[in-house]
Amino acid sequence: MLLISRVPPEEHVAPEVMVVGAAPRGKTRVTTVSVWLGGVVERKLLPYAVKHLLQPSVVDHAGRRVLVLVDAEPSAHVLPETAEAAELLEKHAASMHFFEANYANNSVAGFGLFPTRDPYTFSSVALWEMPFAEKLMVHAVRGPAESVQSHVRILGDRSVLYKYLNPNTLFVATVPGDLPVGAESHLTARHRYGERQAAVPRAPPRRAGARARHILRKLGRLPLLECARPP
């Protein structure tokens, strides 16, 4: 994953980007690069595999973005590991959360972060779980690093469609698991406050993810979503 990690307040200091990627033996490699010079500023090898990367709106005095890396425990780790970053993040811990989809039992769970004795580590606790009667095919959330250029979309009839930018919204696409290929089924995009449905032909398994994206696009949500396929 590539993200902007630092925008310094001083004009003469170069901004920085960060690359977070998987490393051998279940570890994670983090590389920080100068935008102006293209040189490596810092390399880190973390002793855990990152499952989720949270980007709260927290910045330290040097313009570095404070990140939260969630491992498989799941525990959450503060980056950069500085006293200032830990203090800033502790103030926002109550508003931080992440989702996980379990395709084995067709459910979605939400987790919150809570401080521990280690100021650079937070524990994650399951706050809720939502099972689905149908087969879970794809889930989608708004990308944390997505740049929103306009909050509205002007339609052909000059009406205005307001984009739903709530970061707490999670969309889930499901299909009946007992229908044969080619049968007519319903794919549902659901969230906590209701649901909308569209009838579509059931797609073969290899095209299921593409068909889900097609329906989410019909529902007018896909430009704001980041879709995940089942493992």
pLDDT confidence band for 164 (50 / 70 / 90): low
| Strand runs labelled E in the chain | 2-6, 16-23, 27-34, 40-46, 52-54, 67-70, 75-79, 97-102, 107-115, 121-131, 135-141, 152-154, 160-162, 170-175, 184-191, 194-201, 226-228
Nearest-angstrom CA–CA distance, 17 and 39: 11
Is 28 a residue whose pLDDT tops 90? yes
Nearest-angstrom CA–CA distance, 227 and 86: 30
The model's pLDDT over 30-88, given as tens digits with 9 standing for 90+, comes to 999 999 888 899 999 999 999 888 888 889 998 999 999 999 888 899 999 999 999 99
> How high does pLDDT run on average in the chain?
77
Q: Which residue has the tokens 């019909």?
A: 218
Contact between 229 and 138 under an 8 Å Cβ cutoff? The reply is yes
pTM for this structure? 0.67
Enter the tokens of residue 45. Answer: 């090898």
The model's pLDDT over 175-192, given as tens digits with 9 standing for 90+, comes to 886 655 444 344 444 433
Strand pairing partners for 136? 174
Backbone φ and ψ of 38, nearest 5° = 75, 10
pLDDT at 131: 92
